[in-house]
Amino acid sequence: MIDVLVFIQNAHAKGVTLKRCLMDLRQKYGGISDEMLSQVKTVYGCTDTELNDITRWFPKLKSGPVALHQLTVCEPCFTHHAELRERLLEIQRSVGDEVLQITFGGCLGACGVGPNALLDGQLYTQLDHNRPFWVRLESLIKP
């Protein structure tokens, strides 16, 4: 857990907000344990109330270890792509929740080249015809 503490200390030293630090921790480590929350609280000097307010509004921030691979899908991009959404969910069903976790979230900031998703922290755009994305995602089925 020393590397987690260093990660949090570096984020704080760089002026990263508390919410952003929690989001980055979740992305990097796949979840935020109670021990991590305690370290964030100590480094940022925040109260339990402040942490609870953030994790209440963003419940996915406070989760234990999650799937091996994380897919965050830009929900606004997928409102007009039901077939892509179903294809992603079908892949998740075939590999299971312990291998792939799909989160349909907010905008990823690349609207002009959507639909978009983050797979293990890497942004993929134009998913409707992005072959490298689908090859990588489908490789999870047959490792």
pLDDT per residue as tens digits for the range 18-59: 988 988 888 887 778 778 889 999 999 999 888 877 876 665
Buried b (16+ CB within 10 A) or exposed e, 23-58: bebbeeebbbbeebbebbbebbeeeeeebeebbeee
Give 80-129 pLDDT, tens digit per residue: 888 888 998 888 888 887 788 888 777 778 888 989 998 888 899 999 89
Per-residue model confidence (pLDDT) at position 59:
57
Per-residue pLDDT band for 140 (boundaries 50, 70, 90) equals confident
Per-residue pLDDT band for 143 (boundaries 50, 70, 90) equals low
Residue 62 has pLDDT above 60, yes or no: no
| Alpha-carbon span 130 to 122, nearest angstrom | 13
Helices (H), the chain: 2-13, 18-29, 34-44, 48-57, 75-78, 82-95, 131-139
Per-residue model confidence (pLDDT) at position 1:
59
pTM above 0.85, yes or no: no
Q: Which of 34, 3, 35, 37 is nearest to 19 (CA)?
A: 37
133 touches 127 (CB < 8 A): yes
Residue 34 tokens, joined: 């109670």
Residues 6+ apart with CB under 8 A from 11: 20, 21, 24
Per-residue model confidence (pLDDT) at position 107:
79
Per-residue model confidence (pLDDT) at position 77:
79
**Higher pLDDT pick, 72 / 132:** 132
Per-residue model confidence (pLDDT) at position 56:
66
| Alpha-carbon span 68 to 51, nearest angstrom | 26
